[in-house]
Amino acid sequence: MFIPNGHTFIKSKHRQEQAPTPPTLRKDVVLKTKKLGNQEMAIFIASTKSISRGNGQSAVASASYRAGCELEDKRYGKTHDYSKKHGVMSADIILPTALAAANADINRSELWNKAESAEKRVDARVAREWLVNLPHELNEQERKELAHTFAQTLADRYGTIADCAIHQPTQKEVDRGADPRNFHAHILFTTRTAELGDNNNIVLTDKASIELSDNKRRSLGMERVSHEIKDVRQIWEQIANEKLAEHDYKLIDSRSYAAQGIDIEPQLKMGSVATKLERDKYEQELRKAEQAKEEGKHYEIDKTPATQLGTINEIINERNELVWVAQLAKNQTVNDTADAIILNGHAVQDVEHSTPLPTKAISSDLPTPSRADEPIKEPEPLIVPKPKATKLDAVAQAMAMANGIKTKRENEQKQKEVALEQQRQR
């Protein structure tokens, strides 16, 4: 997934004009950067989701998996053991500043079992996760400090407790095609605010403001949850950019593709089932290739998607790639035109301000023409190359297909919203 940051500047004789950066490709969410010319563009990933019983999820199981440890789930009477999980660089509990100042303490098992016991509904949200990518340009300690600063900011903002786990891609994932620079943080937050109880123990009380329904937030004079999530994304952008600016690295941008003027069609979400099918097929193809190699044969790996979603995303990728190439060609044409204007402009200025060359002596027998008799020559117009029209037939076809997918997805979303509104009214 690529999100370019910054802009391309078009040269001009009198000033510099700002042009939108051409779109980049979204090959995979695990990809961290895209090189544009000799520049490397940082990307922005800050997404959130709820851990809900309605989806068959458990806060204890989620924390165990992300922290790569063994936890006992008292509600369900089972033990989750992910202590053999690879790629977990660190996992830390982060309290709100007020509780930390009071020397409060709580371990991971106690925290998430309390989060489970505090909820009574069978479909309750038991945790909230924020996933952020950590710039690979920073070192391990700087990435950890960055993730902890973000977690601490949100813990203080909502009065909740954070469990921050930092991951790196494993060698197995890299072998499957993952980007080795894919450092990221899974930050689990309690959905309820944390306070000190009578025995100086931490207790979880009311729901945090970000967990309230839009109707409840409206009655309290607050904006919708979507605005709150947008604010948090901007908080991550600010925190990350402050650290990136210290080292003069490229900054990230929390705005959407449309807001940045980038004509990129986002991919459809694959989901766990489709993702597993794609990975299973790829691993099977690798095994076939290895077996053929042992037998002294050659096997061409089948890279076609295993699912319909994978096929659609491949089409979207091809469309985005065509748009990217076309935009690059367009920008190059504009820049070449600007270079020609600057070059010709400098040539005219050099002639105007240079010292006239000495002329040959004129015979006294010939009449000397006066300046009034000299013909006045019109200055030759500057020759500016015309921009070449880019062939976009293939782009148009891909765009039409992608727009059809987008329209279908929007219609489905509208139907869901109507059904949800009807349910709320009932």
CA distance 234 to 232: 5
Indicate the domain borders of the chain: 45-246, 271-304
pLDDT on residue 106: 95
pLDDT beyond 70 at 34:
no
**229 has a pLDDT exceeding 70:** yes
What is the percent of the chain where pLDDT is above 90?
40
Position 275 scores a pLDDT of: 81
Point out the least confidently predicted range of 49-63, 75-89, 325-339, 340-354: 340-354
What is the reported pLDDT for 48? 94
Give the residue-averaged pLDDT of 378-383.
52
Provide CB contacts within 8 A for 104, sequence distance 6+.
95, 196, 200, 202
Q: What is the pLDDT of residue 314?
A: 82
pLDDT reported for residue 390: 41
Q: What is the mean pLDDT of residues 130-142?
A: 93
> From CA 214, how far away is CA 293, in angstroms rounded?
59
**369 vs 290: which has the higher pLDDT:** 290
CA atoms within 13 A on the CB side of 162: 29
Give the pLDDT of residue 304.
85
**Any residues with CB less than 8 A from the CB of 72 and at least 6 apart, and which?**
60, 78, 79, 80, 109, 113
Identify the weakest region by mean pLDDT among 44-48, 246-250, 268-272, 394-398.
394-398
Residue tagged 């790569």 (tokens): 68
pLDDT: which is higher, 112 or 403:
112
pLDDT at 242 over 60: yes
Q: Rounded CA gap, 301 and 293, in Å?
A: 12
Q: Give 361's pLDDT tier (boundaries 50, 70, 90).
A: very low
Q: State mean pLDDT over 46-72.
A: 95
* This prediction's pTM: 0.62
pLDDT digits (tens, 9 = 90+) for 260-303: 666 777 777 777 788 888 888 888 888 888 888 888 888 888 88
Lowest mean pLDDT among 126-130, 133-137, 323-327, 381-385: 381-385
pLDDT at 121: 94
Q: Over 60: is that where the pLDDT of 385 sits? A: no
Could you tell me the pLDDT band of residue 401, with boundaries at 50, 70 and 90? low
Most confident of 197-201, 268-272, 371-375, 385-389: 197-201
Is 3.30.930.30 the CATH number for 45-246? yes
pLDDT over 80 at 425, yes or no: no
pLDDT (0 to 100) of residue 346: 59
Helix, coil or strand: residue 78: strand
Query: Is 41 within 8 Å of 4 (Cβ atoms)?
Result: yes
The mean pLDDT of 342-352, rounded to a whole number, is 60
DSSP notation for 290-327:
HHHHHTT-------S-SSHHHHHHHHHHHHHHHHHHHH
Question: Range with the lowest mean pLDDT among 105-119, 150-164, 193-207, 263-277?
Answer: 263-277
Confidence band for 36, pLDDT divided at 50, 70 and 90: very low
What is the per-residue pLDDT for 273? 83
